[in-house]
Structures are given as structure tokens and as C-alpha cells.
Amino acid sequence: MLGGGNPAHIPAMERVWKERMKEIISDPAVLRRTLAIYDPPRGNPGCLEALAELLRSEFGWPVGPENIAVTPGGQTAFFLLFNLFAGRSTGGAADDGANSATGGVNGRILFPLMPEYIGYADQGLTPDSFTALKPNIEITGPHRFKYRIDFDHLIHNPSLRALCVSRPTNPSGNVITDDEMNHLAKFAAQHDLPLIVDNAYGWPFPGILFEEGSKKVSPLWTDQTIHVMSLSKFGLPGTRTAFVVGPPEVAAAIASMTAITGLANGNFGQAIAGPMIKSGEITRLSRDVVRPYYLEKRDKALAAIDEYFPDEAPYFVHECGGAMFLWLWIKDSKRSSKEIYEALKKRGVLVVPGEYFFFGLQDKDWPHHHECLRISFAMDDHDVREGIRIIANELFGN
């Protein structure tokens, strides 16, 4: 199973969850507060204040509880954000996003760097909610490459309502550089557009970022940025807990949408992680436990690829600066990634075909987006290694 997005089961973190559960159960007041009382739609006030203080102390961000709203998972957060900003509006100047039937404008979310997270693709409530840019492809070394934003084609038009990037990126493990982020922030400010940043694998938890030294990347805060942070890849996907951090009016809108659609969020994730956020333990565990665990698994997966894939083969692996996936490009492949997926499935290996991650592009005939596979390395090391061996054999007979 190399195709899923479930995080790894890290023994040290599972011991932490066991102790937190004991603490909750042993305190009748905390247990009652967790199970038998609705939180406000915005989230638990204590948890909101703790996260605001963490962001102020860790990053120097000028935020308070008014800048934060809780949602039942990152997927829900993006559904609310995308449809808050994009979709059909009435009036406005006609442009390439105009709706001819109503005279209104169909506002769009721009993804400046494809490929992007597959879970965004179907979240727009109106057609053509998303648009995207093809990346520049840089060969960085033998069998390695990196996507970079093509700023020459980053052009404003009146249909744009927001920009969205993930950092690091699912599926490719790409980490947008500080220079690229600053360029996007400048563009967003110039055109008064929100810049939405998905931190599902990034700061301040779970911190699955492998860049170090001069390549180390920095979190960005501006008046336009909206960050989404999740407990899922920290090891708590079952709690369905995420935080939207942005301008107060955006946090208030998300809280209102939560009140209408779900009344309140689940308490459990905030009850488990709230004290860890308040103490700062969540960042220590991210830095000292979660990140090293995934870094070791990444290195083992890359070593398996280098061992099993023939050196003369036309393949490239994206530079994995974070997250928990390897992104494999089979250059000039005679089979599409869907066809390779079907062949691998018959051999007991599940991956994800790459074309699903290139939504929003106008160029449907671009060969590259049929030549890639996403491979998760979060599973058992033996399974990852054996899966990579079978992939190599299927692709190259090796």
C-alpha cells in the first residue's frame, strides 16, 4: 500500500496519545468538557489562545485568538475557504471568467504551481473554480528534478479571487522557496488577493520539512496570508482537527460557516493537543520525533530507488524537501500513469497515478502529467522497499 495518505504510526507518538488519553479520562471535569459540552463554533477558547501564543513566540506573527478558527479537518477548511472566495458573483466587469448567462463573474482560485493536492480538485461548487500554472522543470542532478513557479506566466486577471499553495507539497514533496513565497506575497498584495498556504506537513506541526542549513525555509506572514494547519500528519487524523489562521474577518467567516453547517467542531482533537500547544511540547515533538522519523524513511526509500532502478533508465525523482511521498517521473513513458497503476495493482502494489494532481491546467495534452506516480513512504520500511522493487521491475524489467 504505497498509494495512501495516512500518516505513519510512530511508536513514540502513540505512547504520547496513550498518556494524554489517560489524563483526559482520569479528570472528570476534563472528560465532561471533552465529551458533553459544545465548543463555540470558532473553537475552544483556551486552545485558540494557546495557538496564538505559540505562533507569536515561535514565528513572531502578530496574531490573537481573533485570527484563528477551528474546522473539522483541513479538507473542510479548504472547502470553506475556496467557496468563500471563489464562485459566481453578480455584476463586475466581463473577462475570461465571465458567466454569459448571468453577466456575473466566476471567481477562481489560482494554483501557481502544479502538481497539487488531489483533494482540492472537486471542492469548487461552481464550474471552473480553479485555474493553474504549469511549472518550470529543473533537472537538479542525476535522476533528480524540481518544480519551480513560472513567474513569467503569473499574470493577474479580474476573475482571480485567491492564490493557493501547499508547503511542502503533496504529491511531489516540493518546498516552495522563500524567494518564491515572497514573490507570491508581493503579487497577492499588489492585487489585494488572499494567499492561502496549506501547512498540512509544515509549520508549526507536524514539521515534516527536511531542508537544512542555507536551504532552510521560513514561514511567511503578511496581511494577505491565510494558513491552514492540521493535527492529521502530527499523528491524529482521526480527530479531524484543523486551524485556519488569517485576518480576523476570514476567521470570523469560517466560524460562521461552521455554525451553519455543523454547529460546532469536535472537541477531542483540541482536548488532546491543546495542552501540548500551550506548553510548546507540540513543536518539540514535531522537531525531535516526527521529522526525524520521516526523514529516515525518506532516505531509505530513496536508497531503494537508487538500488533497484537502473542508472541508464529515463526516470527522475522530485527533490523531496518534505511530506511523506516520492514523486516519480518516467520521462517519455510509452504507458500513461493510469496504465502503469493498473499493471502495478495486478502485482499487489498500489500507487496513485499522477494525472489526478494536475487539475486546473488548460494544456490537457502536456505529456508530463501522464508520466508521474506518487509513492508513499509512510508504510512499513520492508513494504516500501519491496514495493519499489516491484515498480522497478514493472517499469524497466529490473
What domains sit in the chain, N to C, each tagged with a CATH number? 291-396 (3.90.1150.10)
Q: Which residues contact 347 (CB under 8 A, 6 or more apart)?
A: 390, 394
d(CA 302, CA 144): 11
Beta strand 160-166 with 195-198 is: parallel
Q: Is the dihedral of CA 202, 203, 204, 207 positive or negative?
A: positive
DSSP state of 39: P
- DSSP element (H, E) containing 160: strand 160-166
C-alpha cell read off for 340: 502503469
- Say how far apart CA 370 and CA 119 lie, in whole Å: 18
pLDDT in tens, 147-187: 999 999 999 999 999 999 999 999 999 999 999 999 999 99
Peptide bond into 219 cis (omega under 30): no
Fill in the amino acid letter for 57.
S
Per-residue confidence (pLDDT) for residue 88, from 0 to 100 = 78
Cα 65 to Cα 160: distance, rounded to the nearest angstrom: 29
Q: Determine the pLDDT at residue 90.
A: 62
Conformation bin of residue 21: beta by default, left when phi > 0, alpha when psi is -120 to 50: alpha
Q: What is the per-residue pLDDT for 282?
A: 97
Instruction: Give the DSSP per-residue string, 347-363.
Output: TT---EEGGGG-TT-S-
Tell me what pLDDT residue 312 has: 95
The whole-number mean pLDDT for each consecutive block of 10 residues of the chain, a chain of 398 residues, reads: 88 96 94 90 95 96 97 95 86 44 72 95 89 96 96 94 96 95 97 96 94 75 96 94 97 96 91 95 96 97 97 96 97 95 96 94 88 96 96 90
Q: What is the pLDDT of residue 392?
A: 96
Q: Is the peptide bond before 247 cis (omega within 30 degrees of 0)?
A: no
Judge whether 118 and 75 are in contact, CB under 8 Å: no
Give the C-alpha separation, 305 to 314, whole Å: 13
Cβ neighbours of residue 282 under 8 Å, at least 6 residues apart? 54, 204, 205, 234, 273, 276
Task: Please give the span between the terminal C-alpha atoms of the chain, in angstroms, as a whole number.
Answer: 21
ω into 115 cis (within 30 of 0): yes
d(C-alpha 217, C-alpha 176), whole Å? 8
User: What is the structure's pLDDT at 87?
Assistant: 86
Least Cα distance to 171 among 244, 115, 245 occurs for 115
Q: What distance in Å separates the CA atoms of residue 215 and residue 36, rounded to the nearest whole number? A: 47
Using a cut of 0.75, tell me whether the model's pTM lies above it. yes
Helix (H, G, I), strand (E, B) or coil at 222: coil
Residue 6's pLDDT is what? Answer: 86
